[in-house]
Chains A and B, each alone.
Chain A
Amino acid sequence: METWETVKTAALLNETLIIRQLASGLTVYAVPKKRYAKRQALLCVRYGSADGSFAADGLRRDTPEGTAHFLEHKLFEEPDGGNAFSRFAALGVACNAFTTLNLTGYGFVCADGERFEESLSLLLSFTRQPYFTADNIEKERGIIEREIDLYADDPRQAVHLNLLRALYHTHPARHPIAGTADSIRAVTAELLYDCYDAFYQPANMALIVAGDTDIDRVCALAETIVAAPPAAAPPVRLYGDEPKTAAQTVIQATMGVSPPLFQLGFKETALDGGFSPAKKNAAAKVLLDSIAGDSGDFYAEMVQKGLIDDSFGANYISGPSFGVSLFGGFSVSPATVRDCLAQAIRKLRQDGIPDALFDRIKKKHMGSFIRGFNALDAIVFGQADAFAKGTDLIELWKGYHHLTKGDIMEWLCTQLNEETAMALSVID
């Protein structure tokens, strides 16, 4: 595969992002932070819980819910019965992993400069050596069942998962990331090997490092350990044909929460002509704050009426095939908040957004983005999220920096469809 390098910087941000594509197809991202003592590395795979259905070698696979997450757990297993956690611990290095809708990540933080390359070698090599057996899968089932139970007792997890179920008819975003006790019973070693072979290809992966690292050394190690694969066609992800409308408008469950916890969501419909991922990210988030941020009239009115409190907030989540704008918090009457919010959105579409409000909210997001660069973990996880979206940190910054009021009005006029693409999830 072609190799290339690009070095990106941005005015005001005063940071550098070096991007290199290696012959194997692996992309390396490095953010130099010369005065930091720690070094952090994260290896990401574009494979998450939303990739349950795919086609590889001409064959369609429909995998059980929770497969990507199960694979993440089991990749730490080693043929001698040990595991990679212990090997990192022996190096004095903390290691962790996660699975989201679109991404699996494995990473470490190294406080000892001398151990960084050893740790990086370990990270790159253990993730190239899958070892799945019926026995080690059976052993893990108990652990994952406990993890599923942990989430089952969390109203915040429940309200969010239910919202995705209400918005999406069939899209896999509506599946729990860890699966269910039933679905994980169908996970086998053969299944995990098939998914590993399909998705854990270097061209589908990124290595992200931050701190005082030597990118030439990092790339040399990656080139040695992550070999170029045989020319395999990338898997075709099958998300299904999702209608633009919400599947149901209200979904409710009881968990003994008082006042009720709610999440109101708007399903994203693809824009004709499309915003770039970076512009979309900035437009969506700045718009949400402009509508319902805690310095605005809507928020003040809702607080004054006793309908929301300081638990109320908004967020935007997205992946290659989905996007949701969310508002949520605790409320004695979530349905009333929904109706007031829908009205506020209609009014904003009609009247426009005041310049002063837009300027302030844009400044807030720019400041928050800049502050993220204080911390190595915010940098690596931020770049991982950007990789999942098909972009990078500098482009995300430019998305905010160059954002205009016209951009968010255009987003507002094509999104947040309160008539047909909105759903309310309530846990009481």
Chain B
Amino acid sequence: MGEVMAVTYRSVTIGGGIQLCHVPSDKFKTVHMALLVRRRLSKAEATQTALIPPVLARGSAAYPTLSAINARAEALYGAVLDCGIVKKGEEQIIQFYAETLSEAVANDLPVDGLALLGAVALNPVKENGGFRAATVLGAIKNQRRILAGRVNNKKTYALERLIEEQCKNEPFGVSADGYAADLAAINPVGLYAHYERVLAEAPIDLIVVGDCDTDKLARQTERLFDGRRSAAPTPVAEADGAFPSVQPDARPRVVTERQAVAQTRLCLGFRCGVRPQAAAFYALLVLNDLLGGGANNRLFAKIREQESLCYDIGSLLYRFKSILCVQAGIARKDGEKVERLVLAELDDIKNGGLSDGETDRAKNSLIKEYATLSDDPHAVMDFYFAEALLREQGGVQATIEGIRAVSKAAVQAVAAKITLDTVYILCDGKEASS
């Protein structure tokens, strides 16, 4: 194998209990920064938290309108400034992201990405003890449209609905974009109070990839957050029952939804029962790759190429919730057959049908992805984001070693624990032809 590109990084807790992870690199033309403010997902809070990023993006003291902040970003050679929500496991994370040209590239116009982030995240325009009313109204209107528009992308909509149904009574089933029904109750003063509380209490991670000085970043971050943090930020604890077990012989729950669609979306939700930090997680990662996540996987080879039953089919793994989903776009009449074929592939793996070659190919493919992470600043950020959530500091090398240690028997063992507990079908409203 080619040489592993080493990813060095510094991870340090700075003032205000903020965790800074800096991956120095002068390979890219850019510097990337993500400020992550983390809350436990809850139905009671989800909508308020989801509104914080669009409200802040539309009005900070230094850039009081969307035009002003966009004009500033354009003048900085098209700096990217994004405020949004990310869902990872049972956390709802407010993400402030800045991408700027590095000083080596834009030497006529040095850009301070952290100052830009701070200006937007920490200094909103205020009015009568709360956020500016017009800004909140604009953000609510936009959010209403986003929530109503979920249904337009059938593939992502079907996956979201699967999770909503599968995890009806768990935080993971809560929408990180909030709920339309909650929007009417949002007011500028209440929302501002929620924002201040979140800023004071939530665990915060700052991940930086690029050519900067770590100590300078640390000191600047401390200054920005001075006076905003409580003495002891609340850690986001794992909920009891985050990884519920499922009786292996229990019948899966089937949910069918009807819309005017040309193609049926079939989603199968499996519980895996593997904690994200467990050594067995790597075996699950390998299983997902060879089943439906990697190149020329079993589902692609069997259900698409051999049986011609679909164009898109695959599996994905929600690491922080230990849920594996298989999704496919199919003709309505083929639903039962495709489900049967998917389960047959899993059964084959459970019953020792894996070959050494198949396992090794999946392992090698995954190892190579991690070994070449350093080519993509976004992949680097995602990796250290996951490390922050796992409270781990093993780095890329530990992940590679974990995958390398996976045996065929371990993949078979983890497959044996996987149980289908929910099936979600999105199909047209006409009567089934079979």
Which A residues are closer than 8 A to B by beta carbons? Answer: 12, 14, 35-38, 83, 85-86, 88-90, 92-95, 111-114, 139-147, 149-150, 152-156, 255-259, 261, 293-297, 299-300, 303, 306, 309-311, 330, 360-361, 363-368, 370-371, 373-376
Contacts and interface: CB of A to CB of B under 8 A. Distances in A.
A147 B371 CA distance: 34
Given A146-B263, A150-B329, A154-B153, A111 B295 contact: no
Contacts of A311: 145, 149
A157 B73 CA distance: 30
B310 interface: yes
Interface stretch (B9-17, B192-200, B372-380, B400-408): B372-380
Interface in B280-304: 295-296, 300-301, 304
Contacts of A257: 149, 152
Nearest to A289: B74
B234 interface: no
Nearest to A376: B375
A94 B330 contact: no
A140 B67 CA distance: 49
B311 A150 contact: yes
Contact of B70 (A113, A153, A295, A376): A295
B117 to A, nearest CB: 17
A94 B314 CA distance: 15
B374 A37 contact: yes
Interface residues of B, number: 67
Q: Which A-B residue pairs are the 6 nearest by beta carbons?
A: A367-B77, A89-B296, A367-B78, A111-B368, A149-B263, A113-B2
B186 interface: no
B77 A86 contact: no
A364 B141 CA distance: 28
Given A257-B152, A295-B67, A300-B66, A374 B142 contact: no
B74 A309 contact: no
A73 B369 CA distance: 26
Contacts of A37: 2-5, 371-372, 374-375
Nearest to B134: A304
B75 interface: yes
A308 to B, nearest CB: 10
Nearest to A330: B145
Given A300-B66, A364-B78, A367-B77, 16 more contacts: A37-B3, A37-B371, A85-B305, A113-B2, A143-B308, A143-B310, A146-B309, A146-B310, A146-B312, A147-B311, A150-B263, A296-B67, A365-B78, A366-B78, A367-B106, A370-B101
B364 A92 contact: yes
Contact of B330 (A86, A88, A146): A146
Interface in B340-384: 361, 364-365, 368-369, 371-372, 374-377
13 contacts: A37-B2, A142-B309, A145-B331, A149-B311, A153-B263, A155-B152, A255-B260, A295-B68, A295-B70, A295-B73, A366-B77, A367-B101, A371-B101
Interface stretch (B23-31, B166-174, B215-223, B318-326): B23-31
Contacts of B259: 256
Given A36-B375, A149-B262, A376-B375, A92 B361 contact: yes
Given A296-B67, A360-B71, A89 B1 contact: no
Interface in B46-67: 65-67
B368 to A, nearest CB: 4
B138 interface: yes
A278 B204 CA distance: 45
Contacts of A256: 151, 259-260
Nearest to A37: B372
B99 A371 contact: yes
Nearest to B26: A35
Which of A89, A156, A256 gathers the greatest number of chain B CB atoms within 10 Å? A89
A89 B361 contact: yes
A261 B152 contact: yes
A152 to B, nearest CB: 4
A88 B371 CA distance: 19
Nearest to A82: B305
Nearest to B27: A35
B311 A294 contact: no
Contacts, number: 171
Given A85-B305, A92-B361, A370 B105 contact: yes
A363 B262 CA distance: 44
B133 interface: no
Interface string B383-401: 0000000000000000000
B375 A38 contact: yes
A405 B45 CA distance: 49
B295 A89 contact: yes
B365 to A, nearest CB: 5
Nearest to B143: A309
B145 A309 contact: yes
A376 B1 CA distance: 20
Nearest to A306: B141
Contacts of B115: none
B79 interface: yes
A7 B163 CA distance: 52
A366 B76 CA distance: 10
Contact of A374 (B28, B149, B331, B372): B28
Contacts of B5: 37
Nearest to A369: B78
B148 interface: yes
Contact of B154 (A14, A154, A363): A154
B104 to A, nearest CB: 9
A374 B70 contact: no
A40 B343 CA distance: 35
B139 to A, nearest CB: 10
A368 B79 CA distance: 8
A33 to B, nearest CB: 8
Contacts of A294: 66-67, 70
Contacts of A299: 67
Contacts of B149: 257, 311, 330
Nearest to B370: A111
B261 interface: yes
B312 to A, nearest CB: 6
A40 to B, nearest CB: 10
Contacts of B148: 258-259
A316 B248 CA distance: 54
Given A150-B312, A152-B262, A371-B29, A143 B78 contact: no
Contact of A38 (B27, B145, B372): B372
B368 A112 contact: yes
A83 B306 CA distance: 11
Given A143-B311, A311-B145, A370-B105, A86 B154 contact: no
Given A363-B75, A371-B30, A143 B371 contact: no
Given A90-B361, A112-B368, A360 B262 contact: no
Interface string B78-94: 11000000000000000
A299 B68 CA distance: 12
Which of B3, B28, B99, B368 gathers the greatest number of chain A CB atoms within 10 Å? B368
Contact of B1 (A93, A112, A361, A364): A112
A160 B330 CA distance: 24
B331 to A, nearest CB: 7
Interface string B137-163: 010011001001101111100000000
